[in-house]
Structure 1
Amino acid sequence: MFAIECHEVCKTFQDGNWWSKQRKQFKAVDHVSFQVPKGEVFGLLGTNGSGKSTLIRMLSTLLLPDSGSVRIMGLDIEASAMEVRRLINRVAVDAAFFKKLSAWENLSYSARLYGIHPGQNRERIVGILTRLGLKEAKLHDSIEDMSRGMQQKVAIARALIAVPPVLLLDEPTTGLDPVSKREVRNFIREVRQDHATSILLTTHDMQEAEELCDRIAIMSEGRLVKVGSMEVLRAAAAKTHEEKQTLGLEEIFFRLTGKSIHEEGMTYVS
């Protein structure tokens, strides 16, 4: 049994206003298939609009596929949605909070939802935030008064209060400074090693993908272009024997998709 299984998954959206006669359809996810073994960190790399976030929303049961199938720990996301939700947690770049409440209040509320005993809350919350580089003194600051980076750390802590079998990380380090990025990456490694958690990571960050992922799926225009370890990806993109040993992920992405990747979007190349 795999932690995550996608088979020929498709998702189409309508472009334009609902009342328009000229509405066009576009496929955000187009016949995507892959499997993630238990305990693997699987990276999903693509530009804005490539379908990464749509796919991760389907994995987290927030969207349903138009066709194909998605399974989490052997459970179909449509037939067993509630059971799937108990097995996953998701960190999104647009994480939602009770903004007027403090980080402590938000995290305590989440801990209660996960059934964690109130006596364990503080120790667990402080432990996670300390490892993420957020000082205990900041626990009682309201979320709305926190920086974007601090809010993202609280979002990551919330997802890890109850370590799930499957963790879905949708651009978890977006908005973080270099030091905070390093702290988050180290913590992701710890979670994987200590709990054998299966992790799907979407990112724009080439270094992050190379450092954390066992395998990487390159996604472009809703399709998977190539899936494999760095060795497999280098072999697919290399033009010489030397490049098979040295080619970086950015150049691999460039060659396999014909695009270069940027935080603000995509650039087509001839």
Structure 2
Amino acid sequence: MITLKGISKSFQRKLVLDDIHLTVQPHDICCLLGKNGAGKSTLINIIARLISQDKGEVLIKGQVFDNNKILIKEKIGLVSQFDYLIEQLTGYQYLEFSGLLYKMAPADIKERINSLSLFFFENTTDIHQLIKGYSSGMRMKLNIMAALLHKPDILLLDEPFANLDPVTCHKLAGFLQEFAAAPGKLVLISSHDLLYVDKIATRLCVLHDKKVAFDGDKESFTNGGAKDLDKQLLELINPAGINTASLNWLT
């Protein structure tokens, strides 16, 4: 379980998150939604301890993260907007290196890399190519594989569908549903891809004007499916609608 209590964060005196409270339970696929700059990535990075909050507390399974950093990091798989891939290595070497950092047994590392490669890469030779030659989609696949390698209980995914082809997006969505259904597992994901959010989300958290504008199950947000997810989201974060008057010179 992830519990956020009164999280606030500013960058260069600009307030980005203001008193955020959120709880993500086991089996949840909780999707963070909002405009660019709403604080979705910032919130994920705070939970993963890539950055620190100014105020508030982060608890993972009831434990304060700062008091149990190593133990808690072992429970988290992270895909962030920061790309930490080492381009001089092959995909296989990078995953092998990642597994050793988690003190995994070499035999387990090899078995899991092979399993992940078969699922995410159509061409099994791709994993043995240098990362510097990877496309943006292949880099995302490798980041996801690295997040899964150590068998985490919690997945924190920042725009994981970005740059992935439709087949991989479909496979990833199905996998995330199976992952969240397993005992003790949960997923917190930020995404602008409302097609896949609609497919997999069990809960939604909408960030708007530095606050939580909605926090609840998807059924409540869409009135039991009677209203489209995208329309409901736009009504909440952009009630004024779209005005193209300033672009009349283009037409």
Q: Relative contact order (C-alpha < 8 Å, sep 6+): which is higher?
A: 2
The DSSP-based 3-state class of the residue aligned with 1:78 is helix
Please say if 1:212 is aligned against 2:210.
Answer: no
Contact in 1 for aligned 2:26/2:180 (Cα 8 Å): no
Question: What residue is the counterpart of 1:200 in the other structure?
Answer: 188
Contact in 1 for aligned 2:34/2:237 (Cα 8 Å): no
- AA of the residue aligned to 1:77: F
CA distance in 2 between counterparts of 1:165 and 1:245 reads 30
CA distance in 2 between counterparts of 1:186 and 1:74 reads 29
2:235 to 240, 245, 255: 255
The DSSP-based 3-state class of the residue aligned with 1:136 is coil
Shift of 1:167: 1.1
Q: 1:269 to 1:74 in 2, by over 3 A?
A: farther
Shift of 1:122: 2.2
Structure 2 counterparts to residues 178-189 of structure 1, below 5 A: 178-189=166-177
CA distance in 1 between counterparts of 2:123 and 2:172 reads 14
CA distance in 2 between counterparts of 1:99 and 1:257 reads 39
CA distance in 2 between counterparts of 1:9 and 1:172 reads 24
Question: What residue is the counterpart of 1:40 in the other structure?
Answer: 28
Contact in 2 for aligned 1:43/1:202 (Cα 8 Å): yes
Please say if 1:10 is aligned against 2:8.
Answer: yes
Question: What residue is the counterpart of 1:22 in the other structure?
Answer: none
Shift of 1:196: 4.1
CA distance in 1 between counterparts of 2:10 and 2:216 reads 26
Question: What residue is the counterpart of 1:63 in the other structure?
Answer: 51
Name the TM-score, length of structure 1 as normaliser: 0.84
CA distance in 2 between counterparts of 1:188 and 1:135 reads 22
Q: 1:99 to 1:116 in 2, by over 3 A?
A: same
The DSSP-based 3-state class of the residue aligned with 1:250 is helix
Question: What residue is the counterpart of 2:94 in the other structure?
Answer: 106
1:78 to 61, 66, 72: 66
Runs of 4+ off more than 3 Å: 193-196, 267-270
Contact in 2 for aligned 1:253/1:259 (Cα 8 Å): no
Shift of 1:259: 6.0
Which ranges of structure 2 fall in alignment gaps of 5 or more residues?
245-251
1:97 to 85, 91, 95: 85
Shift of 1:199: 0.9
The DSSP-based 3-state class of the residue aligned with 1:164 is coil
Which ranges of structure 1 fall in alignment gaps of 5 or more residues?
15-24, 236-243, 261-266
Larger CA deviation: 119-128 vs 185-194: 185-194
The DSSP-based 3-state class of the residue aligned with 1:110 is helix
Contact in 1 for aligned 2:8/2:56 (Cα 8 Å): yes
Question: What residue is the counterpart of 1:191 in the other structure?
Answer: 179
The DSSP-based 3-state class of the residue aligned with 2:67 is coil
Percent identical among aligned pairs is 26
Q: 1:188 to 1:245 in 2, by over 3 A?
A: closer
Contact in 1 for aligned 2:35/2:237 (Cα 8 Å): no
CA distance in 2 between counterparts of 1:139 and 1:113 reads 19
Shift of 1:195: 5.4
